[in-house]
Structure 1
Amino acid sequence: MEKYTKNSQIPKIVKKLLPAVVSISVSKMLPIFENPFGGKSFPFLIPKGEKKIKTGGGSGFIIDPSGIVLTNRHVVSDPRAEYVVIVNEEEKYPAEVLAKDQIHDIAILKINGKNLPTIKLGDSSKLELGQTAIAIGNALGTFQNTVSVGVISGLSREITAGDIMTQQTTKLRGLIQTDAAINPGNSGGPLIDMEGKAIGINAAMVFMAENIGFALPINNAKKDLADVKKYGKIRQPFLGLRYVLLNKEIKDKFKLTIDYGALVVSEPTPQGKTEAVIPGSAADKAGIKEGDVILEVKNEKITQKNPLESVLEKCKIGQEINLKVIRKDKEMMCKTVLQERE
C-alpha cells in the first residue's frame, strides 16, 4: 500500500479533491423554555417560542459542477430538518434532497452553484483486496478535511446499521470493508482510489472495534443518479420480504440442510417485530412464507457473493420472475411479478 513513501501520490490526490468534499449541516426549529423566576429549583418551565438549532451533520461530495451532491441517506433522514451544504469551509448553500435510496443508504442533494469542484466516479465492481483506499470527510462535524488512508480489506460485506433519528435498523449489503478510519462525522464522504476517483461513500463503523469501517459501493449511486435523471426519482423493483443470507456457519448453528439461499425471517426492531413477508407484496402473492429459503431467482443461485438484492437490481419493475424455494426440505417453484418500491 502506498502510504508513507516520500514520493507518494496520496497528498497530491487529497489536495486536488478536498475542495469537492463538503460539510452538511442539519438544523431544525425546536421549542425552547425558560424559568420565569430564574431560580434553579423551580419545577416548571415556560415555553418561550422556537429556535433554529443544529441537530447533526455529516459529509458529502460534489459530483457535478452544477451542484449535485452525494451523501448517506441517514445524514438527511429527517424530513422536517433544514440542510445546508458548506463548500470550502465558508460558502453555504441551502440543499434540496432530490432522492433517497432506502436500500443502499444513499441520498442525492442539489445546491444552486456554478462551476463547483467535483470528484469523478470510479467503478466499484473492479475493486481488489489490498488496494489503497483514502477516506475523506468532515470528521465529527468539527474537524473539516479529515483524511485517513487504508486498504480494501473486504468486499460484499453485510451489516445491520442503526439510524439515530428514526430509531430504525437497516440491513446494508454488498459493502466495501476498509481499515481507513471512518467515523460518524465523515459518514457520507468519499472513499477514493489511487486514480483519484470515488469508489464508495463512507457509511458506517463498527463500534468497540478498531480499523473496521464500511463504504457503500459507488456503482449503486451511479444507478440512482441515472434513475433521477431519467425518471425524476429512484425506481427499484420490490419483492417484499425480509431475509438473512445462509452460509455454512448458519447452516451448522441451526442444523439446516443447505448453506446457501435467502432464509425468509422477521426482524426485531425498537418498534417491535417486523413481518417477514409484507402483505400484498409480490412475495406474498407468490405464496412465500416465513421460514422458506429462496434458493434461486431467475435461475440465479442466491449466495453471499450474489445476494437476493443484487439479483433483483438486474430485474425490471413489472417483470415476471421465477423463484426456486425450499420449504420443510421440499423444493417448489413460484412465479410472481415485481412491484415498484414505494
Structure 2
Amino acid sequence: MRGNKSYPQPWIHTNFTGEGYSFTHMKRLLAAQLKSVLGLTTSAFLAMIIAISMPLSRTVELKASAQQAGISEEESVIAVVSAAAPAVVSIVATRHEPIGWQRGCAHPLFREYLEKECAGSKLGGGETETELAAGSGFIISSNGIIITNKHVVDIPGADLAVITHDNKRYPATVLLKDPEQDIAILKIDPPAGGDGLPSLQLGDSESVQTGQTIIAIGNALGQFSNTVSKGIVSGLARSVLASGNAGAPEYLDRVIQTDAAINLGNSGGPLLNLSGQVIGINTAIIQDAQNIGFAIPINTVKDDIKRVTR
C-alpha cells in the first residue's frame, strides 16, 4: 500500500478444494502388482504412474503441429502480447476530497476552533483528487465495452476512470455488476470520428487444458501498466473461498489455476491463450504461496455480456 492508495485486488485466497485422481479397478490391481515387483516407495511409485499415464501420442501430435507451423513458443508469446496489449486497460477509482483547512472544517469539532480559518482564510481550501484503488480490465468491443472484476470497481462514492494503452483517460460507467460472480462490465465512449477502440477476442474456456501455456497482462501494483507474465494452466475447476480488503468472503467456483505471476493490481486483466484469445479473468492469488493464482473462466461472463449488448 502506498499513501492512501489501496489495491482491492487480487482477492486473497483463504481456502480451496480441487479435483482428485481416479483409477479404474484394473489400474489399481496392476498398480499394486507393479509396486510389489519393483519395490518402489509410495511417492516414487505415484510419480511413475502419473508419468507413464500421460497421453504420449497426443503430446507428440502437439509438438509436431507446432514444428509444422514453424513458430517457436517465444515468437507466439511476443505476437500475442503485441496484438493484445492495446486492448488491456488500467482502471482507477478516485474521490475528490478537501485539502488544507477545508479538511478540518468538514468536521464540527475542528470547525468550532478554526472558525476564522474556515470562514475563508488563505491558509487552505479547495479539493484534491485522491486515488483510492487501481486494477485492470480489457476491451471486448470497439465501442468501449470493458470486462473487469466486480471487486475492482465496487468502491462506494468513487469515480471510475479507464486509462488505455496510449495513456488516454476516459470516464467509465458501470453497466453491470454480477450478483453471483466477481464480474463487472464497464463502458467508455471511444473518440469521435475514429475506427473505435482495439478489442480482444473471447475464447472458449471449456477447451482449456491443464499444462497449456497462458499469458497474463495487467496493471501490476497499480503502477506498471501492461505488465506481462507467462505460465501454464496448473489446474481446472478449482473452488476458492476468497476475501480482500474489508469485503465479505466470496466463493469462486470452477476457476482456472495458473502459475503465471498475478500481482496486486492485476485483477480484472485477461488470461490469454497462445491464439491471443481471452480464456479467463485474473481474479485471486494465495498470498503466502509461490505463483498460485486463479482466473474466472471467460465462458462465465458471456451471459452477462449478452445482457448489456442486446
Normalising by the smaller structure, the TM-score range is 0.5 to 0.7
Q: Distance in 2 between matches of 1:35 and 1:29?
A: 12
2:298 is aligned to: 218
Distance 1:61 1:18 in 2: 9
1:130 corresponds, among 198, 208, 211, to 211
Equivalent position SS for 1:12: helix
- CA drift of 1:177 comes to 0.3
Report how far residue 185 of structure 1 moved: 1.0
Structure 2 Cα separation of the partners of residues 179 and 186 of structure 1: 14
Q: Give the partner amino acid of 1:18.
A: A
For structure 2, the 5+ residue unaligned runs are: 1-62, 67-71, 104-108, 119-124
Match of 1:148, as an amino acid? S
Hey, what does 2:88 align to over in structure 1?
A: 21
Which residue is equivalent to 1:62?
Answer: 139
Letter in 2 for 1:120: Q
* CA shift for structure 1 position 124: 0.4
User: How far apart in 1 are the matches of 2:102 and 2:131?
Assistant: 23
2:170 pairs with 1:90 = no
Cα distance in 2 for residues equivalent to 1:213 and 1:44: 46
Count of matched residue pairs:
221
Query: 1:218, 1:80 → 2: CA distance?
Result: 29
Query: 1:11-58: CA deviations, max 9, x gaps?
Result: 11101110000011110123445499xxxxxx9696856532110010
Counterpart contact for 1:183–1:204, Cα < 8 Å: no
Counterpart amino acid of residue 123 in structure 1: D
Which structure has the larger Rg?
2
Please name the residue that 1:182 is paired with.
262
Task: State the TM-score, normalized to the length of structure 2.
Answer: 0.66
Name the residue aligned to 1:297: none
**Is residue 242–residue 284 contact of structure 2 (8 Å, CA) maintained in 1?**
yes
Distance in 1 (CA, whole Å) between partners of 2:167 and 2:126 is 29
**Alpha-carbon spacing, 1:10–1:70, altered in 2? closer, same or farther (3 Å):** same
Match among 212, 227, 236 for residue 155 of structure 1: 236
* 1:226 positional shift: 1.0
Residues 213-239 of structure 1 show CA distances to partners (whole Å, capped at 9, x for unaligned) of 000110011111012234xxxxxxxxx
Structure 1 CA distance, aligned partners of 2:200 and 2:307? 20
Q: Partner letter of residue 98 of structure 1?
A: L
The 5 Å alignment of 1:311-322 reads: none
Do residues 141 (structure 1) and 222 (structure 2) align? yes
2: CA distance, partners of 1:89 / 1:72: 22
User: Aligned equivalents of 1:35 and 1:103: distance in 2?
Assistant: 41
Question: Match of 2:262, as an amino acid?
Answer: I
SS for the counterpart of 1:119 is coil
Determine if contact 2:141/2:199 at 8 Å carries over to the other structure. Answer: yes
Query: What is the Cα-based RMSD across aligned positions, in Å?
Result: 2.4
Q: How far apart in 1 are the matches of 2:237 and 2:303?
A: 18
- TM (normalized to structure 1)? 0.60
Output the CA distance in 2 between the equivalents of 1:70 and 1:145.
15
Q: C-alpha offsets along residues 175-195 of structure 1, whole Å, 9 cap, x if unaligned?
A: 100000111211111000011
What residue is the counterpart of 1:8 in the other structure?
75
CA contact (8 A) 1:73 1:102 kept: no
Within 5 A, what are the aligned runs for 1:31-42? 31-32=98-99, 34=101
Q: Tell me the equivalent position of 1:117.
A: 198
| SS, match of residue 81 in structure 2 | helix
Distance 2:166 2:244 in 1: 27
Matches within 5 A, 1:98-113: 98-113=175-190
Are 1:184 and 1:204, in contact at CA under 8 Å, matched by a contact in 2? Answer: no
List per-residue Cα deviations over 1:139-182 (Å, max 9, x = no partner): 01101110000000111111122242x52211111110000011
Q: Which of structures 1 and 2 has the larger relative contact order (alpha carbons within 8 angstroms, sep 6+)?
A: 2
- Secondary structure of the corresponding residue to residue 223 of structure 1: helix
Q: Give the letter aligned to residue 141 of structure 1.
A: G
The aligned amino acid for 1:101 is D
Aligned-pair identity (%): 48
Moved over 4 A (4+): 31-36, 43-50
